[in-house]
């Protein structure tokens, strides 16, 4: 049996600092990778009162399906009394959020929140 091609693995890494879960997404978040990411992110966001940081700093491309996935994650986290922060330094990503009128919907961070840097 041959190993799974890299493109078929979800491009994410998960770790926990204190009580916060940090999920690093990387490469492209498009219609193909959204299909791969949906299940692991749904499992993760089933957690009540989840404090989640999605680290998007290594994402090179995101399309409308990727923005839709971020909205899905946000809605699931908030419905369970949790908190979602998006970690991104990308001006292009922020511009995408502005163009689709989602700027105020997400809590955006330029760097890892200070409360996590001391853990």
What DSSP string runs through the chain? -PPPPGGGS--EEEEEETTEEEEEEEEEESHHHHHHHHHHHHHHTTSTT-EEEEEEEEEEEE-HHHHHHHHHHHHHHHHTT-EEEEE---HHHHHHHHHTT-TTTSEEESS--HHHHT-
- Within a domain: residue 69? yes
For 34-81, the pLDDT digits (tens) are 999 999 999 999 999 999 999 999 999 999 999 999 999 999 999 999
pLDDT of residue 8: 64
pLDDT higher than 70, residue 5: no
- Within a domain: residue 1? no
Q: What is the mean pLDDT of the chain?
A: 91
pLDDT of residue 63: 96
Could you list the residue range(s) of the whole structural domain that residue 54 is in?
A: 6-114
CB 51 within 8 A of CB 83: yes
Q: The domain that contains 91 carries what CATH number?
A: 3.30.750.24
Please state the rounded mean pLDDT for residues 104-117: 85
Backbone angles phi, psi at 20, to 5 degrees: -105, 135
- Within a domain: residue 119? no
- Within a domain: residue 50? yes
pLDDT of residue 104: 92
Burial of 24 (0-12, 13-18, 19+ CB in 10 A): middle
pLDDT higher than 70, residue 24: yes
- Is pTM beyond 0.85? Reply is yes
- Within a domain: residue 15? yes
Confidence of residue 10 (pLDDT cuts 50, 70, 90): confident
- Within a domain: residue 84? yes
- Within a domain: residue 21? yes
Backbone angles phi, psi at 3, to 5 degrees: -65, 155
The count of structural domains within the chain is 1
């Amino acid at each position: 049996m041959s190993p799974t091609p890299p493109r078929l693995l979800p491009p994410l890494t998960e770790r926990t600092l204190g009580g916060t879960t940090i999920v690093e997404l990387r490469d492209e978040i498009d219609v193909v990778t959204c299909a791969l990411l949906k299940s692991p992110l749904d499992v993760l966001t089933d957690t009540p009162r989840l404090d989640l940081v999605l680290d998007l700093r290594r994402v090179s491309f995101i399309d409308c399906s990727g923005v839709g996935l971020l909205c899905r994650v946000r809605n699931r986290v908030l419905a369970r009394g949790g908190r979602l922060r998006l970690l991104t330094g990308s001006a292009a990503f922020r511009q995408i959020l502005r163009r689709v009128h989602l700027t105020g919907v997400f809590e955006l961070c330029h760097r890892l929140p200070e409360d996590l840097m001391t853990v």
